[in-house]
Every structure is written in structure tokens, then in C-alpha cells.
Amino acid sequence: MLLEALTLQLGYNATLVTIGAALLGLAAGATGTFLFLGKRALVSDAISHATLPGVALAFMAMVALGGDGRALPGLLLGSAISSAVGLLCVSALTNRTRLSEDAAIGAVLSVFYGLGVVLLTVIQSMSSGRQAGLESFLLGSTAGMLWNDALVIALGGALVLALVALLRRPMTMVAFDPEFAAGAGMNVHRIELAMMGLALAITVVGLKIVGLILIVALLIIPAVAARFWSERVDHVVLLAGGIGGVSGYVGAAISATAPGLPTGPIVVLVAFGLFALSLVLAPGRGVLAAILRHRRFQARVHVRQGLLALAQGQPIYEPLTLRLMRGRGLIRADGVATKAGRAQAARALLDERRWQLLRSDPAHEEAAAHYDGLTPLESVLTPDQLRALDRGLRPGDVQAGALQ
Amino acid sequence: MMGAEFVALSLPPILIGIFAAVACALPGNFLLLRKQALIGDAISHVVLPGIVGAFLVTGVVAAWPMMIGAGVAALIAVGMIEAIRHLGGIEPGAAMGVVFTTLFAAGVLLLEQSDTSTVHLDVEHALYGNLESLIWLDGMGWHSLLDAGALRGLPPELPRMALTLLLVIALTWLFWRPLTLSTFDEGFARSLGVPVGAVGLGLVIVAAIAAVAAFDAVGSIIVIAMFICPPAAARLMTNRLEVQIAWSVTFATLSAVLGYVLAGYGPLWLGFQDAVSAAGMIATVSGVILALAAVFGPCRTRAGTA
């Protein structure tokens, strides 16, 4: 069943929804990256909640003009206008008053949402409003998706993607370093507005599929997940688009397989699954990689200390050190050093003496900054420098050390 | 309007609205000053999986299991946010966004999957609450307020909300000094031996308690709005914390009363028949108050700028 859904064989509506969700995820992931990199991910929360009064007002306006209140383009236009007003309120509260951006976001999202709910109850009391079904915009509803709706989503998504591709350089600069961007002669305010405008467009386009509460997830989660895999902005944007697209596609396909699996939440949960995988598995920034790094470092420290103890004839009690050194064939099961162990121990001790000498000599200040108790000095100094340094060692220093 | 009908139909919801608004606005002041204002938003989203989970476990729609479930969900959310922040090195805003949207999605999915058709449990209820339906059928007039038998018929949300408010006030009063110290100057507070981390976590827990209790009665819109709007408006009125808190309580009360009255009677005055959502109207009024404060407030600009 799932295989059929993934290969788009579950009928017309399911296919439409799946492709639409994939496109939406792709565009949302790519757009959201810039918000996330600029540390303004939650602005999308204000944008999405601010769509509600617009949807309601558009419905009322279209009914008042004698039309069908449910026409998607009209509702989307209304939502775009009201969330733009919300966005301007956030920016006015942040720039003109002492309130911080998070307070402005929270205020705008709750007030606009409250106003939207008031308007929804007004619509419910209108004669033509009983079946308006505007509540479906809260959580999305894909059951009755039409070809025209899908077209609106596809065109909107494509337009946003094209704009992202066009504006990626200025948006990157503004996201990372607004002051530098301003210094380079860019209109930072306008670029920020464009960034927000694109997020707004995604929100509006996504209302039908995932609804206004969960579209925030599609703007934030793919970007955060993609950030684990790369340090380059263009890669993160592409990856985020990919993760968003896959979430949309797989999520919509899963939700098509059975009733009671609403599209929006499933898409979000798939995206979170990909995020969790990234958090654990990503090389470099992932949790697993960090644990492995820690274990490797721990092993190096233990072996080094064990070797130094061997060289100085001290007994080793630490169980982890013993286990590591046995595993490396440096000591025998009874704790006596093997030949390889003795050789490495002597080398470790020599290295330690060299470091001591180096660090006591201010002439080597720069090289001494590399000291961490683990790095062999051979990797810091050239052979010539090493020979010069060795002249400073007391004759028989190493052997004396070994006999102590 | 001020007669028996008022006591039965409007007094309990107005009181519940006021209690809920003030209980949220008090911790909201500190969250705002700590730039954690959106914690309230996150908590109110994760309440949904909490109550659905509680329903699935207990099989009944009852207040206490749901509040416990919501509280557990809030704690899980805070734990997840901290874990993602620290394990992944993600900025707090994005970590919050990841967690609350995911948990909310999980809540919606749980709701769809479970058989809740026989009980009154849906997303809209969670969002809007049902302030209007909290009526007091035994309230025959003002004299009923002195009648023990009639008082027993009060909606249970009223004493619960009052209790929550008292708890919030008591905790704010008790921990006033460490709370203010760690809010304004964390380093100084730490040097005095204030357990800064514990105070921060305690504040979030108190906020969660207020949010969960208020949510049960009035829905999550009011909760988010009351966490942020009255404190934010109060912040634009004064530079002193005590005065700010007084203003925020005033604004919260004003929003609750005006919002309820406008929602209940406003449409009638305009010639319509049906009332509109009181929860939405209370949030809207608090927004209007904030807008007025942002335009006219005496301390609206940042220090140092004109």
C-alpha cells in the first residue's frame, strides 16, 4: 500500500496531494534556511498565525460581493495581506519600541489569531457561513483538493524557489552579518523584508495542505536538520529543500494509505524523523560523531598516560587504561610491557621531555601553544628544529627517566 | 445586564477570564524581561498532545488527568528543547520551533487516530476554550453569592483558576528577590549564591502550571496573548518592575472584562444576534491595548534613543 502511494498509484487526489506536498516542502525548506541562519526562525510563527483574520475577511468580502466564499485564490490573497500587516506590526514593534523581537512575535501571533477566531465565529453566524469549513485552514485539509488548488500551490512554490535562487547571495549576507551587508551598500531592511516576504508566500501557499499552525514546522525543521550536514550555505539550502521535499512526498504518501492520517501532521512528523536522524548521525555536528570523537580522545589520553607510566616504571591501576593498552598489544595480560610497548613508552617519554624543554624556552613560545599533552612534537617542529632542541636535553635524560 | 441574569451567565466567565489573564500575565512579566516570551506559545501548543494522551490513558474527559497530562507534555517539551539546544548547538528559537510544531502534530495525529467521536475533545476546543459555557445555573442573583448551596453549583473551573492564581501570586511573592535578581543580572545573582538555573526552570514550571490551568478554562489563545500582551504593554509604560507588574495586572483585567463584554454584547449593540468568541475577543482587546501603549506609552522607546 505504501509502495503504491510512493509511486503515485493511489488515485488522482492522492497523487495531486503528494506532488503538491513535495513541492511545498522543497520551497519551504529552501526559504526557511535563510530565516534560520538569520536566527529569526520564529518570525514564521507570527506570519502563519496572522493569516487567519485575512482568510476570514476574504471569505466575508467574497460572500458580500455575491461570490463563492471558498475560492482558494481569494482566500490566499486575503491571508497574504493580513500576514503582511502582521509582519509590519512585528517589525514596527521591534524597531520603534523597546520590545524585543520575540515579544513582538508573540504579541502579533496571539492577537491576530484571536481576531481571526472572532471573525470565524462571525462567519459561523452568517447564513452562508455554516459550511464554510474555514477551520480546515488551521490544520490543512487535502481531502477535497482540486486541480486548480494544486496548480496554485505548484506555481507559488516555483515562483518562491526562483526568487530564492535569485536573492540567495544578498539574503545570505544579511542573515550572517547585517552590518557588513549594510557596509557593502545593500539595503538591509529591504532584503530582510524580501526574506520575510518569501516566508509569507510559502505560508500562504501551504495553508491548504498543512494548515497555518504546522506550516511553521516546514519552514524551520528542514533547515535545522540540513544545518547538521554542511557548513556551506548553498549546500544547506539545497539539503533543506531536499529534506523538505522528501518529508512532503513521503508524508503525503503515508497519509494517503489509510484514513485518520491527516497530511499536515504526518508531513511534520516525517520531517522531525529526518531531523532526529540528522541530529544523531550527521558527521561533524551529530551526537554520534561527538560521542565517537570523545571516545577517541579519551583513548588517546589513557594510552599516553599509560605509556608514560610504563616508561617511568610506575604501576597502572586504571582499568580502562589497562584494557586499551592490552587491546593495542602494548602490555601483556599480566600487565608487563611488551617489546612494542617498551618502544612506544620510551618514545612517549622522550616526547614529554622535549615538550618540557620547549615550553621552558621563551624562544619557542609559538610552538609551545600547540601543547595539549597528546600531540607529538614531531608533528609541530621540523626535523632540524627537533635536532637543535635535542641538543638541549641532558645526556641520558631519556634513559635516566626510564630508570626512575 | 446587572441583574440575576448577569450573575448566572456572565459573572463566572468574567471572573475566570480575569483569574486566567492575571495568572498568565504575572509570570509573563519575567519571561518577557528574560526574552523567553515565546515559551508561553510553545507550552500552549504542546498542551494538545498532553490532554489527548491523558484521554487515551484514562479514557475519560476529566479535568485533573488532563491537567497532569498537559503538565507532563510541557515538561517533556522543555526537556526536548534543552536537549536539542545543547546536543545540536541550535539556537533556542529554532529548537523551540522544532519541538512545539512536532509535538502539536503528534497531538493532532493522536486525536485523529483515537476514537474521540463520543466525547467532547477536539482541536478547536483546545484552541478557543469555551469560556461562554462556564455558566452558573444556581446563581439566581447577587444574594446567591452568600448561599452555600448555590455556590456549590459554580463551574469547577472557577475555584481551580482562583487557586492557580493564588499559587502564582504566592510563588512570585516568595521568590521575588531571586527572581528579579536573576532576571536583571544573572552574573550578579550567581555571585550572591542564587541558584540561577533552578530559578529559571521554576519560572518556566510556574508558567506551565498557569498555562495548563488557564487553557482548561479558556483555551490556548488567551494563554499566549496574556503571557505576552499585558506585560509588553506594561513594559512600555514604566521603567520600574513593581509598577510594570501593576500595569500588567491592570491590562490583563481590563482585557478580560472588556473582551468578554464586547464579545457577548458588542454584536447585539451592532444589531447582530449571535455573540462572537470571547477568547478571541479578549486576545484582540489585549492587542489593542498593546498597540495604544506602543504609540502613546511614556517609556516606549529604548533607553538612549529619542
How far is residue A62's CA from residue A58's CA, in Å, rounded to a whole number?
6
Residues A273 and A309 in one domain: no
Report residue B306's pLDDT band, with 50, 70 and 90 as the boundaries. very low
Q: Are residues A242 and A353 in the same domain?
A: no
Domain span at residue A182 reads 2-281
How many Å lie between the alpha carbon of A355 and the closest alpha carbon of chain B?
35
| Number of domains chain A is built from | 2
The cell for A124 is: 459561523
The domain boundary residue, chosen from A281, A301, A325: A281
Residues 242-261 of A with CB under 8 A from B: 260-261
For A92, counting Cβ atoms within 10 Å of its Cβ (0-12 exposed, 13-18 middle, 19+ buried), the class is middle
Interface-testing mutation among B84, B228, B237, with chain A (most A C-beta atoms within 10 A): B228
- Considering the domain B4-220 in this protein, what is its CATH number? 1.10.3470.10
| Pairwise CB contact (< 8 Å): B280 & A121 | yes
Closest approach of chain B CAs to the CA of A349, in angstroms?
Answer: 37
Are A311 and A377 within one domain?
yes
Query: For residue A100, which residues of chain B lie inside 8 Å, CB to CB?
Result: 35, 37
What is the model's pLDDT at position A362?
83
* pLDDT band, residue A271 (cuts 50/70/90): very high
Please report, for the domain that includes residue A115, its CATH number: 1.10.3470.10
Q: Is B35 within 8 Å of A102 when comparing Cβ atoms? A: yes
**DSSP code per residue over A294-332:** HHHHHHHHHHHHHHHHHHTT-----HHHHHHHHHTTSB-
Q: Look up the ipTM and state it.
A: 0.90
Helix (H, G, I), strand (E, B) or coil at A337: strand
- For residues A231 and A268, state if they share a domain: yes
Same domain, A311 and A271: no
pLDDT exceeds 60 at position A277: yes
Please tell me the pTM assigned to this model.
0.85
pLDDT in tens, A44-72: 989 999 999 999 999 888 888 877 777 77
Of B236, B277, B283, the CB nearest to A121: B277
CB contact under 8 A, A262 and B123: no
Which pLDDT belongs to residue A107?
93
What region does A357 belong to: left with phi over 0, alpha with psi -120 to 50, or beta?
A: alpha
Specify the DSSP class assigned to residue B182: H
CB A390 within 8 A of CB A342: no
CA distance B163 to chain A (A): 25
Environment class of residue B126 by beta-carbon count within 10 Å: exposed (0-12), middle (13-18) or buried (19+)? buried
Q: Which residues of B touch A95 (CB under 8 A)?
A: none
A303-329 confidence digits (pLDDT tens)? 999 999 988 888 888 899 989 999 888
Q: Do A121 and B84 touch (CB under 8 A)?
A: no
pLDDT in tens, A170-186: 899 888 888 898 898 88
Greater confidence (A96 vs A273) lies with A273
Are residues A268 and B281, on separate chains, in Cβ contact within 8 Å?
Answer: no
Domain closes at, from A281, A304, A324: A281
Domain end position, chosen among A249, A281, A313: A281
Average pLDDT over residues B25-30: 94
Both A221 and A120 in one domain: the answer is: yes
Nine-digit cell string for B272: 447582530
Is A64 in the same domain as A156?
Answer: yes
Cβ-based neighbours of A348, under 8 Å, separated by 6 or more: A304, A307, A308, A311
Kindly determine whether residue A118 and residue B280, on different chains, have CB atoms separated by under 8 Å. Answer: yes
Question: Who among B98, B232, B267 is closest to A107 (CB)?
Answer: B232
* One domain for residues A32 and A172: yes
- Categorize the per-residue pLDDT at B139 as very low, low, confident or very high, splitting at 50, 70 and 90: low
If asked whether residues A13 and A138 sit together in one domain, one would say yes
**A398: nearest Cα among A358, A343, A359, A361:** A343
Domain positions in chain B: 4-220
Residues 6+ apart with CB under 8 A from B76: B46, B103
Average pLDDT for B234-261? 93
If asked whether residues A165 and A245 sit together in one domain, one would say yes
Whether pLDDT at B21 is above 90: yes
Rounded to whole angstroms, the Cα distance separating A253 from A230 reads: 28
